[in-house]
Chains A and B, each alone.
Chain A
């Protein structure tokens, strides 16, 4: 069965998910995964669907556009590429990296570059910048899968060095500590 990924962006309001899901079901699409988030006032949703037939995607995208454009939303759809199988995940350990500090341009780029250099994969990122000097108003929380072959001391050292350049307080902790403290 062919699959497609559809993204929807626009100012948040009630009824967005209802409109998306109704249009998809009316067009014979089965929703397999959905994730939505709201940043400040903006809605962003991503849906993976299985299509009724391979050629249907253009029509579905047009139907979504008709339904969602009046709500101020824009839509993008593309088929899921099956020709490139996803790389098998390397054995890894989940860590949480948190930073706090004064806002400035290039914070995420600076930290995520270091992670990329060590082969650490960001699986979740939440960054909130409200500006100003209050560190708690400017936080980044990364969930990263760190390959087991990574030298933990070198990774930590590189992250701290970059954080210092950027004026950030950084902590790197294995995810289990948060699970232990907050999940029964």
Chain B
């Protein structure tokens, strides 16, 4: 007989604490669809995606039901389109974007990622065409996600790409001005992008990955928060060492649940299982927030002094628990701090306790970066690029992944609200210190060289 306390604790994790498998992402390679005829390319893509992904939603529902753990999002990640569709021009990429969006709708997945380019060391023709197409591609589609890797620890930072992304984000915001620049919410700029992220908007299927693979994104900020609350209520003298142990154990359980479900989904679809990405990914629901964990550990709000240290503890404990639970932990694995997607973080930003600068500092110790940050619509492309460059530098120097998902909300100023709806939530627009100043630095362009890896400081 299984211990009844374990059974009741598991039910509590599910029902009260929002434990779920946040996302099952089917990676699909498109390289064998390559063609210089766009119609042929699109037909082959559609055929391949339908062939592999048609049963995805149904299988996820069945497996989720079997274990009583809901699979919230079903997604597809494809090979970086800038490579798979290298011969095409920007208008061609817009057509491909629309075709992918239609196919995603057809198989019932909420997002399809991989409209991506990897340009950390330089551009190919396909990369330029894809980036040029982004504003139109992202504003004309609903389910398509894009990412551009502009920096890596081995290559340095491609500042021409950073500047180009600043201009692209401005253009994408303008193209979706009626919806508060929502096209930018589906576009992520990365340093050191992993090849196996199941979470959007960064998900794509890396070149070194199998033809098809299932990657799992598990979440559980609510589970971590409640575990902390319960333990502190019983024993108020718990110190941070023991609390970190508690978070580790909780992360272990969450990861195990994800792997069990991921392996079964993969088996039923007849594709290999890839990784579990254990990231504390919040939703706008109360009780499913990373920001609330900060309050459970005794800070007034995320963003006040102490936040970076706390986040470092949280991130490390989550990784340690996940690494013990599964031998195939990948993706980003850590804590996400997306401003708009977490109502508690959004509130800290609204009240001014969380500033853009503190957010940036915190990204040096957590798994992503400036995520879902709404900034005033009049912030210049150069300033956006400079913010991206700062974020990329943190990733490159610290040998970690960082990303920027910035949304300059057209026609709105700091303090006003932007509404994205659904999982993307809503956010108060954050002020940018020293915005629209001298653009000289960004316009210098070129590539910031890769950092030395031996003289560590």
By a beta-carbon cutoff of 8 Å, the part of chain A in contact with chain B is: 96, 98, 124, 126, 136, 139, 141, 143, 152-153, 156, 171-182
> From A173, which residue of chain B is reached at the shortest CB distance?
B68
**Contact for A181 among B8, B66, B257, CB less than 8 A:** B257
Known: A136-B8, A176-B260. 4 other contacts (CB 8 A): A96-B7, A172-B68, A178-B10, A181-B256
For the complex, give the distance between the alpha carbons of A98 and B3 in Å.
13
Q: Is A177 a contact partner of B69 (Cβ separation < 8 A)?
A: yes
B227-272 interface with A by 8 A CB criterion: 253, 256-257, 259-260
B1-40 interface with A by 8 A CB criterion: 1-4, 6-8, 10-11, 14-15
Chain B interfacial residues counted at CB < 8 A:
21
> From A153, which residue of chain B is reached at the shortest CB distance?
B65
**Contact for A126 among B1, B14, B15, B253, CB less than 8 A:** B1
5 nearest A-B residue pairs (beta carbon): A173-B68, A177-B67, A182-B6, A180-B260, A180-B256
A136 contacts across to B, CB distance below 8 A? 8
Q: Is B4 a contact partner of A171 (Cβ separation < 8 A)?
A: no
**Contact for A152 among B1, B2, B65, B257, CB less than 8 A:** B65
**Contact for B10 among A124, A152, A156, A177, CB less than 8 A:** A177
Q: In angstroms, how far is the closest chain B Cβ from the Cβ of A20?
A: 22
Q: In angstroms, how far is the closest chain A Cβ from the Cβ of B54?
A: 20
Q: In angstroms, how far is the closest chain B Cβ from the Cβ of A147?
A: 15
- Given A98-B7, A98-B8, A179-B68 contact (CB < 8 Å): no
Q: List 28 A-B contacts (CB under 8 A).
A: A124-B1, A126-B1, A126-B4, A139-B8, A153-B65, A171-B14, A171-B68, A172-B68, A173-B68, A173-B69, A174-B67, A174-B68, A175-B2, A176-B67, A177-B10, A177-B68, A177-B69, A177-B257, A178-B10, A179-B2, A180-B256, A180-B257, A180-B260, A181-B10, A181-B256, A181-B257, A182-B3, A182-B6
For the complex, give the distance between the alpha carbons of A172 and B7 in Å.
11
Q: Is A143 a contact partner of B8 (Cβ separation < 8 A)?
A: no
For the complex, give the distance between the alpha carbons of A178 and B10 in Å.
7
Specify the main secondary structure of chain B where it touches its partner. helix
A124, A141, A172, A175: most-surrounded residue (chain B CB, <10 A) = A141
- Given A96-B2, A143-B1, A143-B2, A178-B259 contact (CB < 8 Å): no
A-B contact count (CB 8 A): 59
> From A128, which residue of chain B is reached at the shortest CB distance?
B4
A98 contacts across to B, CB distance below 8 A? 7-8, 11
By a beta-carbon cutoff of 8 Å, the part of chain B in contact with chain A is: 1-4, 6-8, 10-11, 14-15, 65-69, 253, 256-257, 259-260
For the complex, give the distance between the alpha carbons of A102 and B306 in Å.
45
Q: Is B2 a contact partner of A177 (Cβ separation < 8 A)?
A: no
Q: Is A141 a contact partner of B66 (Cβ separation < 8 A)?
A: no
Q: In angstroms, how far is the closest chain A Cβ from the Cβ of B327?
A: 13
Q: Is A174 a contact partner of B66 (Cβ separation < 8 A)?
A: yes
For the complex, give the distance between the alpha carbons of A90 and B457 in Å.
65
For the complex, give the distance between the alpha carbons of A115 and B41 in Å.
53
- Given A174-B67, A176-B67, A141-B256 contact (CB < 8 Å): no
- Given A98-B11, A152-B65, A177-B260 contact (CB < 8 Å): yes
**Contact for B2 among A139, A153, A182, CB less than 8 A:** A182
Q: In angstroms, how far is the closest chain A Cβ from the Cβ of B165?
A: 41
A124 contacts across to B, CB distance below 8 A? 1
A126 contacts across to B, CB distance below 8 A? 1, 4
- Given A152-B65, A156-B65, A173-B67, A178-B7 contact (CB < 8 Å): yes
For the complex, give the distance between the alpha carbons of A153 and B58 in Å.
13
For the complex, give the distance between the alpha carbons of A136 and B2 in Å.
18
Q: Is B66 a contact partner of A152 (Cβ separation < 8 A)?
A: yes
For the complex, give the distance between the alpha carbons of A124 and B7 in Å.
13
B65 contacts across to A, CB distance below 8 A? 152-153, 156
B2 contacts across to A, CB distance below 8 A? 96, 143, 175, 178-179, 182
A139, A152, A177: most-surrounded residue (chain B CB, <10 A) = A177
B11 contacts across to A, CB distance below 8 A? 98, 171
Q: In angstroms, how far is the closest chain B Cβ from the Cβ of A129?
A: 14
**Contact for B253 among A139, A152, A175, A181, CB less than 8 A:** A181
Q: In angstroms, how far is the closest chain B Cβ from the Cβ of A109?
A: 21
B68, B253, B257: most-surrounded residue (chain A CB, <10 A) = B68
> From A143, which residue of chain B is reached at the shortest CB distance?
B1
A173 contacts across to B, CB distance below 8 A? 66-69
Q: In angstroms, how far is the closest chain A Cβ from the Cβ of B185?
A: 33
A176 contacts across to B, CB distance below 8 A? 67, 260
> From A123, which residue of chain B is reached at the shortest CB distance?
B1
> From B12, which residue of chain A is reached at the shortest CB distance?
A136
For the complex, give the distance between the alpha carbons of A180 and B67 in Å.
11
B4 contacts across to A, CB distance below 8 A? 126, 139, 141
**Contact for B7 among A141, A152, A156, A174, CB less than 8 A:** A141
B8 contacts across to A, CB distance below 8 A? 98, 136, 139
